[in-house]
Amino acid sequence: PDRYGALAAQEILKAGGNAVDAAVATGFALAVTYPEAGNLGGGGFMTLLVAGKPYFLDYRETAPAAARAEMYLGPDGEPIAALSQFGNLAVGTPGTVRGMAMAHKRFGKLPWATVLAPAIGYARDGFRVTPQLIGILDGSRAPFAQGNFEAQFAGLKAGQIFRQPALADTLTRIAKGGDKAFYEGRTAGLIVAQMARGPVKGLITKADLAAYKAVWREPLRA
């Protein structure tokens, strides 16, 4: 979806990496340059064909242990859509980092830190903002106004170099400590602290993060 993800994949392939290395590098790069498509706080699925055999990895977000069936309903029993879309209560226990790590551990070729290097570079040194990204940010301002969106993105213009040092620090911890450095330690503490901020409290705990598991599932065949 953007050139930086493609450039990350190109860099990894030129370094001798395989398709899984390139895919993981792209996923982390997009978390820096194209937050609508890439993320550290979400999850997903990965379908692979390796040596003629299919594999399917499920690393979708999961509900925190304290989640309950009625938590997005109002007193009248009707859904309150915004609660499941914006703010701390909308967040599930994230799966992306563990999923990327599991795919890389099983099928990757290059060292983990090498695969994360392009994303760290984009976050630390910056990347040139595209008009496409500005359009996405402008469309997000109103729904995300209750959070710290403006503090992060206010005044951003196409053509500027955008640096994200806090994200670079998080990615560097992951590069050094693997997925455990996201689900435990300082990063986990920052996620849990965020759950207590704002008008609506979130549910994710350190136990939820530490217990998260991505799962290799049997692929469906047609």
At residue 86, the pLDDT reads: 86
Structure tokens at 109: 């070729």
pLDDT of residue 75: 94
Angle at 24 between CA 131 and CA 12, to 5 degrees: 85
Which residue type sits at 39? N
> Residue 143: what pLDDT?
78
Q: For residue 15, what are its two tokens? A: 């370094």
Q: What is the pTM of this model?
A: 0.94
The letter for the amino acid at 210 is: A
Residue of 45, 53, 64, 54 whose CA lies nearest to 102: 45
Q: How far apart are CA 16 and CA 213, in angstroms?
A: 29
User: What was the pLDDT predicted at 183?
Assistant: 98
Per-residue pLDDT of the chain (222 residues; tens, 9 = 90+): 889 999 999 999 999 999 999 999 999 999 999 988 878 999 999 999 999 999 999 999 999 999 998 999 999 999 999 899 888 999 999 999 999 999 999 999 999 999 999 999 999 999 999 998 999 888 888 877 777 778 888 888 999 999 999 999 999 999 999 999 999 999 999 999 999 998 889 999 999 999 999 999 999 987
pLDDT attached to residue 177: 98
Q: pLDDT at position 137, please?
A: 87
Rounded to whole angstroms, the Cα distance separating 152 from 12 reads 29
Q: How far apart are CA 13 and CA 136, in angstroms?
A: 29
CA distances from 174 to 45, 124, 134, 188 (A): 20, 14, 28, 11
Which residues lie across from 93 on neighbouring strands?
62
- Nearest CA-CA partner of 179 in 118, 107, 100: 100
Residues 89 and 67: beta-carbon distance below 8 Å:
no
C-alpha 158/C-alpha 138 separation (Å) is: 12
Predicted local confidence at residue 139, as pLDDT: 85
Query: What whole-number distance in Å separates Cα of residue 25 and Cα of residue 9?
Result: 6
